[in-house]
Structure 1
Amino acid sequence: MEIQRGYDLVERMRQLGAEDPEEWASSELEEDIAQEARWLAIRQIREAITWTPEGIRRIPEVTSLLEAGADEQLILAAVREVAREAAFTVLNVIDSTGDPDAPEDSPGWMLLEARVDPEGEPYLTGRDVGALHESLGFPAEDGVYRD
């Protein structure tokens, strides 16, 4: 399905903060992969799992550990890794499209790209927004995700 856009995809990916916007746009345009939708999902997930020192101090259990003398950087590293592993696991489950332990005739799932038509109505393009776990990546030392 040809997607009609009123914008330059490379520039849009750059505005959205994609690492290597040319590569993301090229993949979408040449391979018909819903890369803009994939990036939008990954961007939101990365933001949700990015922990800062201020953020972990809002967790009562962390505050107790800090008051007991625990090392803040060690706690922060652990929280970041647990968050990344949880997100990766959830994305991997979504990407799997089904429960391997369920009976063969059980339903599965897919994440599909949605757009909005000129009348403002959402519709599915039919393009898979899969392999999200492959794009999650790892945070830098400061906890921010970037290449």
Structure 2
Amino acid sequence: MSVPESIPELTALFERLGARDPESWASSQIRERIPQLHRYLFLRQCWQHVIGEDSIDWVDYHIEQAEQDPRGSFAGMGAALKRAVAAGVARGDLSQIARGVQVELLSQLCYMLEDNGLSEPELKGVGWGLFQTDEEGNPLAPIYSLHESVLDLDPSGREMRPKAVP
């Protein structure tokens, strides 16, 4: 893929991809040489795996899966969800909890891409990262500071803030 090299062209691409403030993303990539398109696309893909803000179907799905196979993977979650619903917890509240936990994990994984958090001295040189690659998969440039943009890509636009405070 050939990434546009002018701010107007890259802004148009970010806009087509659904970025809020597309000119800021494009300007940063061109002027600061930060691979913002790759950062944006990675985080956008991550957010597609986060429970939707108004999604509740997943609750019944996991309950049904646990009932069908009580010893299966994630059956404990399904059983706990069943107990929570039986106790009167709204499915929407369960979604908010799960969504928050998922986004916290996403943020922590993004931090961990830059700081492995290993404390053992013999592991000092161990590291990993996310990289922009060429068409053959060879690393071109590291993609840094993903954690700074996790909340920016919340599809609701509210950066995980509630719709309204009760």
TM-score, normalised to structure 1, is 0.78
Corresponding residue to 2:148 among 114, 134, 147:
134
What does the per-residue CA deviation read over 1:24-55, in whole Å, with 9 as the maximum and x for residues that have no partner?
00000000000000000010111111331123
Corresponding residue to 1:73 among 92, 96, 102:
92
Identity of aligned residues (%): 24
Query: Aligned equivalents of 2:148 and 2:119: distance in 1?
Result: 23
- Alpha-carbon RMSD across the aligned residues, in angstroms, is 2.5
What does the per-residue CA deviation read over 1:78-109, in whole Å, with 9 as the maximum and x for residues that have no partner?
1111111111111111122x334032643212
- Superposition pairs of residues 1-147 of structure 1, within 5 angstroms: 5=3, 8-51=9-52, 52-60=55-63, 61=78, 62-96=81-115, 98-103=116-121, 105-116=124-135, 121-125=136-140, 127-137=141-151, 144-146=155-157
Q: Which has the higher helix share?
A: 2
Query: Aligned equivalents of 2:48 and 2:112: distance in 1?
Result: 20
Contact 2:51/2:98 (<8 A) preserved: no
Gaps of 5+ in 2: 64-77, 159-166
Q: One-letter code of the match for 1:130?
A: Y
Query: Aligned equivalents of 2:50 and 2:89: distance in 1?
Result: 22
- How many residue pairs are counted as aligned between the two chains? 136
Q: Which has the higher contact order (CA 8 A, sep 6+)?
A: 1
Seen in structure 2, the aligned counterparts of structure 1 residues 65 and 86 have a Cα distance that, compared at 3 Å, is same
